[in-house]
Amino acid sequence: MRLGVSVSVRCSIGTASGNTQTDYPAKFQRSSFSTANFLPDNASSDLAVSISSSSSRRGLIRIATLPCLLPLIGCLPANAMQPGSKEYLLIKEEVRKVLSKGKAAGVLRLVFHDAGTFDIDDSTGGMNGSIVYELERPENAGLKKSVKACSVSLFSHSPSTTSISITIWRIPHDSEVLQKAKTQIDAIQPVSWADMIAVAGAEAVEVCGGPPIQVSLGRLDTLVPDPEGRLPEESLNASGLKKCFQSKGFSTQELVALSGAHTIGSKGFGSPISFDNSYYKVLLEKPWTSSGGMPSMIGLPSDHALVEDDECLRWIKKYADSENLFFEDFKNAYVKLVNSGVRRNSL
């Protein structure tokens, strides 16, 4: 589907700190006086978008400044790009400019919470940028430290100007580290937030000493939140974890491999900024069984549960013995994770 052309549109975005461009998918309440009408794919070669006012004025608007209109009409699909392409390398380069070891764990968590909503039975959820609409959910606590609102105004060039004001929520905290990079990339090649987060998570692993991971691009962003209650709860036992991951198409081995992401961050497994196999070595030591003190606070109940399950324990021992095996299996499971439920651009 291509975007059509008619009359020019000026677009400005204001924030509390001044006029800056906001590239996040919109979260807004539909106005009672504005509608967006789309032609079907089998209509003319262009997509027409019409904005109608309360006085029934209609007019076609030109998508002259498309990035500014994304919050109103949807997210621009990223052109399909493969690892090694100049566009892919550009994304990696810009992400590395804003990503530090201290921010890596938070960025990697964004990947798991975006892709982790996938359900294999109905093929809903998955890596689609829906995390931007789900920040109020309890399971996403910590992903939102501060939220600032900004507004978008569209102005036609007709004498009777129709102004539309929409509130857009910026992606806070961990996603904010990617804002600067995405702005630079979009100026050259528009990229979806699903792609941005998928690549950033891979870079977060590598910047902390983990394996290089390449992911293909072309994911489409959604405009609605995914169903609730799909992320694995921290209190699940091993049986519950395996059932949850199975519903997403992952084996027990992949569950254990992906759990190794907890090796970085504040969970207490080794260095918080070193991606290695310390997670599995610490699991075998079971420091949380100590009475009181910091050791008892290491890991989540779901982490502790893995080592009590024979099937999981077999893989924990393998990864504790071989960091190379862990790296290889994590890399493969990560690629599968960020491809879960993906709708790709067919252009």
Query: Is the distance from CB of 216 to CB of 191 less than 8 angstroms?
Result: no
| 50, β-bridge pairs | 60
15 is in an annotated binding site: no
Query: Is the distance from CB of 316 to CB of 256 less than 8 angstroms?
Result: yes
Per the annotation, the verdict on 113 as an active-site residue is yes
232 is in an annotated binding site: yes
193-207 and 323-338 are packed helices; what angle lies between their axes, rounded to 10 degrees? 170
162 is in an annotated binding site: no
CB atoms within 10 A of CB 16: 9
Query: Is the distance from CB of 319 to CB of 260 less than 8 angstroms?
Result: yes
Instruction: Please give the helix or strand (H or E) that residue 114 lies within, else none.
Output: helix 101-115
Query: Is the distance from CB of 218 to CB of 195 less than 8 angstroms?
Result: yes
Tokens of 187: 């100026």
What is the DSSP secondary structure assignment for residue 223, as one 8-state letter?
S
Mark the binding-site residues for substrate, compressed into ranges: 232
Mark the binding-site residues, compressed into ranges: 232, 262-263
Give the catalytic positions in this structure.
113
Mark the binding-site residues for Ca(2+), compressed into ranges: 263
Mark the binding-site residues for heme b, compressed into ranges: 262
